[in-house]
């Protein structure tokens, strides 16, 4: 187990290094720079721009720039944002927390909703409930996220039922702790609903299929023959045996925790990483872009690792290395 974790860690570090080199190169080799817009301004002389370029080291050879960037990562700064004139880590800290909050709440809700929906619709195969669930999942899987987001946003604006944009109201600081929580929750509602509508159908579809398959297994019949039935049979006997595909999916949704909500954040004005990364990309604030990509890669590694550990915990056949592990 220890050597397994050590091996995984070594691989993760290697992967992150490779990702960083690649991102670094790709962003630096892409055309355009932060000072392109200034260049269009006739009042600023080319000399000034050259001086600025030199100040941020944009005229140095690439390996040197990578080395400087790597040192800044080692310091915990993760590069320097030219646009905000601060270290990237400092800049991204608060939005990352907001994104994590939004993504975490949405993911939790997705699973809390998906598991019973999937299990019950598999248990009542071809019932009206099952048909309804599968029609709705098909519908929401086929609607693009952006359309869903815009539709919900339009609804929220028209009905004035939900605050849209930002994550707090004016006068947030005067509220009690409970009032603050409620205020954030209300602002979060629109993006969370969109994320849940996008995420739930995928989980329901996969989980329903694996639960339905296990329901036909002889051991479920055997348990029924012992008088075990109802919710106990479904959630204690069937669900754990159907969990493997769901756990892989859980790893993926963990990996997408920081990146899955970017679009929704931009559309609903949630002050997370989405708007920040979009601005940084448009403005060629390259270190921010690289840091965001690194964060995404790190989350992917964490998600995969978590899924593997969970699989190990959930399936004794994998744990003890059975030849017929499935």
Partner 1 sequence: MTHASDLVRVKDLSVSYSAAGQSVPAVKHATFSIGAGEVLGVLGESGSGKSTLALSLARMLPAKARYESGAITFRGRDLLQMSEKQLGAVRGAEIAIIWQDPALALNPVMRVGQQIAEVLRAHGSRDRHERVERVQGVLTEVGFQHPSEVASAYPHQLSGGQRQRVGIAQALCCRPSLVIADEPTSKLDSALQVEILALLAKLRALHNMAYLIISHDPAVFAGWADRMLVMYAGEIVEEGSREQVFGHPLHPYSQGLVRLSGAPAGTPRQLLPVITGEPPDLTRLPRGCAFEPRCPERMKVCAASPPASSTPEANRQVSCFKYE
**Contact footprint for partner 1 (CB under 8 A):** 217-219, 221-230, 232, 236-237, 240-241, 243, 314-317, 320, 322, 324, 326
Contact 253, 260 (CB under 8 A): yes
In the complex, the smallest distance separating the C-beta of residue 241 from partner 1, rounded to whole angstroms, is 5
In the complex, the smallest distance separating the C-beta of residue 296 from partner 1, rounded to whole angstroms, is 33
In the complex, the smallest distance separating the C-beta of residue 110 from partner 1, rounded to whole angstroms, is 24
In the complex, the smallest distance separating the C-beta of residue 256 from partner 1, rounded to whole angstroms, is 27
In the complex, the smallest distance separating the C-beta of residue 125 from partner 1, rounded to whole angstroms, is 10
In the complex, the smallest distance separating the C-beta of residue 265 from partner 1, rounded to whole angstroms, is 38
Q: Which DSSP string corresponds to 125-172?
A: TTSHHHHHHHHHHHHHHHS-HHHHHHHHHHHHHHH--S--SSSS-TTG
Measured from the CB atom, the residue of 125 and 279 that comes closer to partner 1 is 125
DSSP category for residue 236: I
Measured from the CB atom, the residue of 302 and 314 that comes closer to partner 1 is 314
Number of H helices, E strands in the chain: 16, 2
Give the separation between CA 74 and CA 9, rounded to whole angstroms: 17
DSSP category for residue 60: S
What residues form DSSP beta bridges with 86? 81
Q: Which two tokens stand for residue 53?
A: 């370029």
Give the separation between CA 259 and CA 274, rounded to whole angstroms: 8
Residues in the chain, overall count: 326
Q: Which residues contact 270 (CB under 8 A, 6 or more apart)?
A: 98, 99, 102, 166, 167, 187, 188, 191, 261, 264
Measured from the CB atom, the residue of 223 and 298 that comes closer to partner 1 is 223
Measured from the CB atom, the residue of 98 and 237 that comes closer to partner 1 is 237
Measured from the CB atom, the residue of 166 and 229 that comes closer to partner 1 is 229
Measured from the CB atom, the residue of 97 and 131 that comes closer to partner 1 is 131
């Amino acid at each position: 187990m220890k050597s397994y974790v050590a091996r995984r860690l070594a691989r993760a570090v290697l992967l992150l290094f490779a990702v960083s080199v690649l991102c670094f190169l790709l962003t630096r080799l892409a055309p355009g720079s932060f000072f392109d817009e200034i260049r269009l301004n006739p009042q600023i002389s080319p000399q000034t721009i050259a001086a600025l370029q030199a100040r941020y080291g944009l005229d140095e050879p690439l390996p040197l720039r990578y080395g400087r960037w790597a040192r800044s990562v080692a310091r915990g700064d993760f590069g320097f944002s030219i646009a905000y004139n601060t270290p990237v880590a400092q800049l991204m800290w608060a939005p990352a927390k907001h994104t994590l909050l939004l993504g975490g709440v949405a993911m939790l809700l997705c699973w809390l909703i998906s598991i019973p929906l999937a299990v019950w619709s598999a248990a009542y195969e071809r019932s009206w409930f099952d048909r309804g669930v599968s029609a709705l999942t098909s519908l929401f899987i086929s609607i693009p996220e952006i359309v869903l987001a815009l539709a919900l946003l339009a609804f929220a604006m028209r009905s004035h039922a939900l605050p849209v944009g930002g994550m707090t109201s004016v006068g947030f600081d005067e509220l009690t702790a409970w009032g603050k929580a409620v205020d954030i929750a209300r602002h979060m509602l629109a993006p969370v609903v969109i994320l849940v509508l996008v995420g739930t159908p995928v989980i329901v579809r996969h989980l329903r299929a694996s639960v339905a398959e296990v329901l036909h297994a002889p051991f479920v019949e055997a348990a029924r023959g012992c008088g075990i039935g109802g919710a106990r049979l479904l959630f204690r006997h069937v669900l754990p045996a159907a969990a493997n595909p769901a756990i892989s999916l859980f790893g993926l949704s963990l990996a997408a925790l920081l990146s899955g909500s970017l679009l929704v954040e931009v559309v609903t004005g949630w002050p997370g990483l989405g708007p920040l990364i979009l601005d940084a990309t448009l403005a060629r604030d390259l270190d921010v872009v690289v840091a965001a990509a690194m964060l995404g890669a790190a989350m992917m590694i964490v998600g995969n690792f978590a899924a593997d550990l969970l699989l190990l915990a959930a399936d004794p056949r994998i744990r003890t290395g059975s030849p017929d592990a499935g």
